[in-house]
Amino acid sequence: MAEMTKTLTGFAAAEIEKKQGAVRAQEQAVAQEAAGTAEYTFDVTDMDLFYGDFQALNSISMKIKKHEITALIGPSGCGKSTFLKTLNRMNDWVEGCRVTGKILFEGKDIFKEVDPLALRYRVGMVFQQPTPFPKSIYENIAYGPRIQGIKDKKKLDEIVEKSLRQAACWDEMKDRLSKSALGLSGGQQQRLCIARTLAADPSVILMDEPTSALDPISTQKIEDLALELKENYTIVIVTHSMQQARRISDKTGFFLLGELIEFNNTLDMFTNPSNPKTEEYITGRFG
């Protein structure tokens, strides 16, 4: 009897161990899958975009990696801004605009599983022309968090300081917080707009030619800022400057007539482009 109990116990223990092993393997698989999706901020598959009858983007697939800077280059009208605006569903406001295909943001389908308003907080955008509100510097930053429901003055003060510090504006602006943002220089206004975007607590910052209206020194400040911010944020930047793409981006995507011709590590793309059209464009033969 004792022998039988021992065998049964041994059998039960082996069974339990086997089940635990299976559970561990399952847990590992789930964790790996989560890590796999978390690696990419955006996973775009076979995306087409139409403005009415006009197809502006054709079968775009692109994985945008977390905490990297991805540059989008290509001649005027090739669809860079259109692609960028699709990532936070800003094209929803364009009448007649239709998107097909799939876009995952942090593993979730932006058209099915994410509220568009919440998406726009998480995926902030900075435009070519700085667009501060005609309000004080403080109010420019506090406006978004207030709309998000934060009323406590101390908390708002904290957010304003933190966002301005992150956007490398605090020292220049801390003594003029109540002054109009319109009195700032173009470069300062652009950094203020980046601070305003950061105040909404995004995980991504989309930048559409953020330095094309700025002088070289302001441009360098924005580029340094982008390099600093990528530690904590994913950045996608549209630029007409090949030098800028080379200087700051990890990956580059080359668009032409609505198609993504090449998407690669920036260094590889600029030293050894795989498509002749990319080579022509980056060496300045057209565009």
Ligand X SMILES: Nc1ncnc2c1ncn2[C@@H]1O[C@H](COP(=O)(O)OP(=O)(O)OP(=O)(O)O)[C@@H](O)[C@H]1O
Which residues lie near Mg ion (CB under 5 A)? 81
Number of residues that bind ligand X (CB under 6 A): 12
Q: Which is nearer to ligand X, 82 or 189 (CB)?
A: 82
Return the structure tokens found at 214.
Answer: 């700025």
Q: Which is nearer to Mg ion, 146 or 240 (CB)?
A: 240
Q: Which of residues 50-89 bind ligand X (CB under 6 A)?
A: 51, 54, 56, 74, 76-82
76 binds, among ligand X, Mg ion, none (CB under 5 to 8 A by kind): ligand X
144 binds, among Mg ion, ligand X, none (CB under 5 to 8 A by kind): none
Q: How far is the CB of 82 from Mg ion (least distance, A)?
A: 8
Residues 189, 137: Cα–Cα separation, whole Å:
9
Taking alpha carbons only, the member of 287, 284, 210, 227 closest to residue 255 is: 287
3-state class of 185 per DSSP?
coil
Element (H, E) at 119: helix 116-122
Cβ pair 239, 75 in contact under 8 A:
no
Q: Which is nearer to ligand X, 150 or 257 (CB)?
A: 257
Q: Which of residues 186-215 bind ligand X (CB under 6 A)?
A: none
Return the structure tokens found at 73.
Answer: 């280059």
Taking alpha carbons only, the member of 258, 257, 256, 247 closest to residue 278 is: 256
Q: How far is the CB of 48 from ligand X (least distance, A)?
A: 13
Residues 244, 2: Cα–Cα separation, whole Å:
78
Residues 6+ apart with CB under 8 A from 286: 75, 280
82 binds, among ligand X, Mg ion, none (CB under 5 to 8 A by kind): ligand X
5 binds, among Mg ion, ligand X, none (CB under 5 to 8 A by kind): none
Element (H, E) at 116: helix 116-122
Q: Which is nearer to ligand X, 76 or 178 (CB)?
A: 76
Q: Which is nearer to ligand X, 81 or 189 (CB)?
A: 81
Q: How far is the CB of 84 from ligand X (least distance, A)?
A: 8
Residue selected from 22, 31, 38, 94 as contacting ligand X according to rule CB under 6 A: 94
Residues 25, 8: Cα–Cα separation, whole Å:
25
Q: How far is the CB of 78 from Mg ion (least distance, A)?
A: 9
Return the structure tokens found at 70.
Answer: 């991805």
Residues at the interface with ligand X (CB under 6 A)? 51, 54, 56, 74, 76-82, 94
